[in-house]
Amino acid sequence: MKFAASIIRSLQADVQAELRDIERAVVSGTREAGQNLRTELRRQVASAGLGQRLANSWRDKHYPNQNLDAATLVYTKAPQIIRAFDDGAVIRRRRRRFLAIPTENAPRKGTDGKRISPSTFPEHRFGPLGFVPRQSGPSLLVVDGLRASARHHRRH
């Protein structure tokens, strides 16, 4: 009888040790899966040309709870922007005549030192904005004869 009891105790200890190994594997597996998903989402957003700041808005939070219930939550800090691109939402102007979409070569700040807009565009430095009507697609506001600087092309 004593021999049988020691086998059972040994078997129970072995099962407990195996269960702890499985729990550690579940915790590390969910953490790694969450990190890989976050990295892949960041890569997709950046490769779609939506910018590194929007790509870096993806986060992951790991919950290494007890037993086999570990979890990882992957989320974005900019859900409205991501949802708009995911759904293919139409972006419309608000209370103004034009929707200004600056390119990488456009200045970041206007004459007032704040975010650029057509009314605060530094014409003294870049020249006047010209209106270009198009039959298909939206009309454009452009600066004639402006060349892209090499500084902007090195950032890619």
Distance (Å, rounded) from C-alpha 73 to C-alpha 58? 11
Digit-coded pLDDT (tens) for 23-77: 999 999 999 999 999 999 999 999 988 889 999 999 999 998 877 889 999 999 9
Digit-coded pLDDT (tens) for 87-109: 877 767 667 666 666 677 777 78
- Are 76 and 52 in the same domain? yes
CA atoms within 13 A on the CB side of 21: 6
In Å, the largest CA–CA distance within the chain is 98
Please give the residue range of the domain that contains residue 38.
2-87
For the chain, how far is it from start to end, CA to CA, in angstroms?
75
The predicted pLDDT at position 143 comes to 83
Of 66, 128, 144, 141, the C-alpha closest to 97 is 141
What does pTM read for this prediction? 0.57
**In the chain, how many domains are there?**
2
Domain end among 87, 117, 138: 87
User: What is the distance of C-alpha 130 from the center of its chain?
Assistant: 34
Which residues, other chains included, contact 54 with Cβ-Cβ below 8 Å and sequence gap of 6+?
A: 45, 78, 81, 82
Domain end among 35, 68, 87: 87
